[in-house]
């Protein structure tokens, strides 16, 4: 027979379950577009990149990600980790057509 002391175990912590966690949410284009300022648009348009055009951003996503993830773009106000991660998820989801 077991005593109360021998049967008492620590319970595993209960974790909240979300239907769609923010960590896995793929941002929409309108959110990504909002990351680009008028100054960003004016600067990059001289290189033939329209930051307010979804197709143009998709075509140049690798170069854009490289610059923003290294803090080189935009120079006046680098993106925060949330913005960088959101852009990456949007880019990769649009590249492979599946949720990451």
Residues 8-50: tens digit of each pLDDT: 555 554 544 444 556 678 899 999 999 999 999 999 999 999 9
**Per-residue pLDDT, 10:** 57
Higher pLDDT, 6 or 59: 59
| Distance of alpha carbon 47 from alpha carbon 17, whole angstroms | 45
Task: Work out the angle at residue 70's Cα, subtended by the Cα atoms of residues 45 and 95, and round it to the nearest 5 degrees.
Answer: 65
Residue 88 scores a pLDDT above 60: yes
Instruction: Look over the chain and give the mean of its residue pLDDT values, rounded to a whole number.
Output: 81
* Averaged pLDDT for residues 66-92: 93
Intra-chain end-to-end CA distance of the chain, in Å: 50
Measured from the Cβ of residue 87, the count of other Cβ atoms closer than 10 Å reads: 21
3-state secondary structure of 48: coil
**pTM of the model as a whole:** 0.70
């Amino acid at each position: 027979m077991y005593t109360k002391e021998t049967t008492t175990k620590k319970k595993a912590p209960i974790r909240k379950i979300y239907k769609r966690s923010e960590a896995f949410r793929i941002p929409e284009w309108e959110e990504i577009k909002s990351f680009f300022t008028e100054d960003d648009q004016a600067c990059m348009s001289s290189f033939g990149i329209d930051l307010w055009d979804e197709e143009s951003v998709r075509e140049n996503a690798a170069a854009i990600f490289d610059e923003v993830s290294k803090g080189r773009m935009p120079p006046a106000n680098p993106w925060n980790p949330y913005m960088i991660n959101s852009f990456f998820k949007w880019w990769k989801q649009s590249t492979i057509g599946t949720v990451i």
